[in-house]
Amino acid sequence: MKVYILIIFIAFGCVFSERRNDVVLNGKNEMLKFIKYHDFELAMESDSGIEQVLKDFNLLSILLLDSTKSEVLFKYDSELKTNFHYALAASELTESTVGFRTECETLEGVLKSKRSLNMIFDCIYGEYARASSEYRIINPVYINGNVAVVEIANMNVFSQFFIKLDNGIVHINLLESTIEN
């Protein structure tokens, strides 16, 4: 009998630990997918070649997480260097940076928390705007430690943000927005 109870607890524990990545936004469960910078490093070291890396990763997002491979990547995309410098300037802390204090210890934890995601949406769009619109994070989320590049969609507006967790404060900077018809 004790063995069966232990197996049931283990089974439920596995199910619930898998569901921790589920985020409920406007009544929908959405599984966030994270691409970690380490995944990019492994791909760069693999035998699959640079063409596969160029196809599998958003290089601008990767460079915003860590620019140590910038000179190598600039050789393969002529516009990447210019776009990177504009995005890097936009990611710096300025008067237009918004944010909030959190108890989460990691940025991945912030992005997996419904409460924290609602705080992010409130900081960006305002508390009342979020109540009347559907916002969602577009997968994947590029992340390296406590720095991430996140794309958020609202109807036909797609915005990319640079988000950083530093000493319990989430800093959010708009990188770019696109309106699609």
Phi, psi of 120 (to 5 degrees): -60, -50
Q: CA angle, corner 32, sides to 143 and 34, nearest 5?
A: 25
* Spatial CA neighbour of 133 closest among 115, 149, 157: 157
* Spatial CA neighbour of 74 closest among 97, 56, 50, 90: 50
Contact 102, 110 (CB under 8 A): yes
pLDDT in tens, 90-129: 888 888 889 999 999 999 999 999 899 889 998 988 876 6
CA distance 41 to 45: 6
Contact 171, 95 (CB under 8 A): no
Task: Give the global pTM.
Answer: 0.79
Q: Which of 65-79, 131-145, 163-177 has the weakest average pLDDT?
A: 131-145
Mapped to the 3 state alphabet, what secondary structure does 114-142 carry? HHHHHHHHHHHHCHHHHHHCCEEEEEEEE
pLDDT in tens, 94-105: 888 899 999 999
> Over 90: is that where the pLDDT of 133 sits?
no
Query: How sure is the predictor about 77, in pLDDT bands with cuts at 50, 70 and 90?
Result: confident
Phi, psi of 168 (to 5 degrees): 80, 5
> Over 90: is that where the pLDDT of 39 sits?
yes
Mean pLDDT of 35-57: 89
**Strand, coil or helix: what is 69?**
coil
> Over 70: is that where the pLDDT of 21 sits?
no
pLDDT score for 140: 94
Phi, psi of 111 (to 5 degrees): -70, -20
User: Tokens 């599998």 map to which residue?
Assistant: 56
> Over 50: is that where the pLDDT of 20 sits?
no
CA distance 74 to 70: 6
